[in-house]
């Protein structure tokens, strides 16, 4: 789990934008880039935002920013003025089995403008529904500084649980064909041991990532790829991990096996996607498996990225039997199998793709 304060500190302390002031084509690929090619411009004063989560750029030198508690704000890129234009009701809490209500990581998690925003004025918001245990991807019409509340369309729903925190995702990116990528976190408790989540005992479903990231029939712990349609629905583009109609799978899945995927970017030159992934809080290796690693990942196409059985360059965790506290064998990256009683998807999984870059916790 990554602490909420850490997430927000990484996202924004003071809103700033790195503007490309100069770009020089380097003929020699071994030459280091010019370190002065970027210029930092501070647009706003501290204290203008309450837990800002993501931003998207609009025509007219404007920036649309969403806050975790539901605030929607627009920043004037010329003056730095900040305007609250709407507040969307969202859930920000979870209630554990002991009845304790605590702050979660969820709320308003993501925003992106439609590629044709100049013509259709559509924006997409991803947030925790205020009443039901689900995250929703919605489309809205934004005219000037007015969010048209009667224009809301629910595009996609992701079933979740609110007995345990954490990991939400919510990063979005469009490709050149208008396909939308959406990151979805594992929605699973972070084990105190800092290991993987592999407890499939009855009553411990929220401790088992085999029910979500390792489940081909669940949208959590995934990066989804859909094509939003004009009527507010979506279709499935060709080239996802599982062809539409494949039993025990969800066709929206582009990549799976994710713990805490955050922001995602699409490379217009290659078509690859890139994202960061937060690893478990484990500073040392244990009998259950490796220490924690954060990852920077690249997907050249659809695939399974290992969690909860592997981390980093496919370093395996060890099968652990919670009923009698005994150990089995390390999971095999050449033959990953999901045997959890909480698995509603395929038993045999695709071979895992190793992380592009991985670095140890602490």
So what's the pLDDT on residue 325? 87
So what's the pLDDT on residue 28? 59
Q: What is the pLDDT of residues 133-185, one digit of tens each?
A: 999 999 999 999 999 999 999 999 999 999 999 999 999 999 999 999 999 99
74: confidence class by pLDDT, cuts 50, 70, 90: very high
- CA of 270: how far to CAs of 24, 279, 301, in Å? 20, 27, 11
Q: What is the pLDDT of residues 26-52, one digit of tens each?
A: 445 678 889 899 998 888 989 999 999
Residues 235-241 have a mean pLDDT of 98
So what's the pLDDT on residue 38? 92
So what's the pLDDT on residue 29? 66
DSSP, residue by residue, 249-263: --TTEEEE--SSEEE
Neighbour-count burial for 109-128, b at 16+ CB within 10 Å, e otherwise: bbbbbbeebeeebbbbbbbb
Share the mean pLDDT of the chain. Answer: 91
- CA of 119: how far to CAs of 55, 58, 345, in Å? 20, 12, 40
Q: What is the pLDDT of residues 273-302, one digit of tens each?
A: 999 999 999 989 999 999 999 999 999 999
- The token pair at 69 is 């508690």
So what's the pLDDT on residue 193? 77
So what's the pLDDT on residue 234? 99
List the CATH number of the domain containing 134.
Answer: 2.120.10
- The token pair at 88 is 């969307």
pTM over 0.75: yes
Element housing 8 (H / E): helix 4-11
* Rounded-to-integer distance, Cα 50 and Cα 328, Å: 47
11: confidence class by pLDDT, cuts 50, 70, 90: very low
User: Number of structural domains, the chain?
Assistant: 1
* Contact indicator for 155, 234 with CB cutoff of 8 Å: yes
* Residue-number span of the structural domain to which 240 is assigned: 4-360
The vertex-63 CA angle with 267 and 5, nearest 5°, equals: 85
Q: Which of 212, 229, 223, 216 is nearest to 262 (CA)?
A: 223
* Helix, strand, coil percentages in the chain from 3-state DSSP, rounded to 5: 5, 40, 55
Largest CA distance in the chain: 64
Neighbour-count burial for 159-171, b at 16+ CB within 10 Å, e otherwise: ebbbebbbbbbbb
């Amino acid at each position: 789990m990554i602490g909420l304060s850490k997430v927000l500190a990484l996202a924004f302390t003071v809103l700033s934008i790195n503007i490309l002031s100069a770009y020089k084509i380097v003929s020699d690929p071994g030459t280091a880039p010019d370190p002065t090619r970027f210029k930092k411009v501070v647009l706003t004063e501290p204290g203008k935002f309450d837990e800002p989560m993501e931003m998207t750029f609009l025509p007219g030198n404007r920036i649309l920013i969403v806050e975790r508690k539901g605030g929607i704000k627009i920043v004037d890129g010329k003056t730095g003025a900040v305007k609250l234009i709407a507040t969307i009701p969202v859930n920000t809490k979870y209630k554990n089995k002991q009845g304790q209500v605590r702050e979660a990581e969820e709320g308003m998690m993501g925003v992106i403008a439609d590629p044709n925003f100049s013509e259709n004025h559509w924006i997409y918001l991803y947030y925790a529904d205020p009443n039901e245990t689900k995250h929703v991807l919605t489309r809205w019409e934004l005219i000037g500084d007015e969010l048209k509340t009667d224009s809301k369309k629910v595009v996609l729903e992701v079933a979740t649980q609110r007995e345990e925190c954490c990991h939400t995702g919510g990063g979005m990116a469009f490709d050149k064909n208008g396909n939308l990528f959406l990151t979805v976190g594992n929605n699973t408790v972070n084990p105190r041991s800092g290991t993987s989540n592999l407890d499939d005992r009855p009553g411990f479903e929220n401790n088992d990532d085999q029910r979500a990231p390792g489940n081909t029939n669940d949208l959590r712990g995934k990066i989804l790829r859909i094509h939003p349609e004009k009527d507010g629905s979506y279709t499935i583009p060709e080239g996802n991990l599982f062809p539409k109609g494949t039993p025990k799978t969800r066709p929206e899945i582009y990549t799976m096996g994710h713990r805490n995927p955050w922001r995602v970017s699409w490379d217009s030159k290659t078509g690859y996607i890139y994202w960061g992934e937060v690893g478990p809080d484990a500073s040392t290796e244990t009998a259950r498996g490796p220490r924690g690693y954060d990852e920077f990942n690249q997907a050249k196409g659809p695939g399974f990225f290992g969690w909860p059985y592997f981390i980093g360059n496919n370093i395996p965790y060890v099968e652990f039997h919670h009923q009698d506290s005994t150990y089995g064998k390390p999971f095999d990256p050449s033959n990953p199998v999901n045997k959890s009683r909480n698995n509603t998807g395929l038993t045999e999984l695709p071979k895992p793709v190793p992380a592009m870059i991985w670095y140890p916790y602490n």
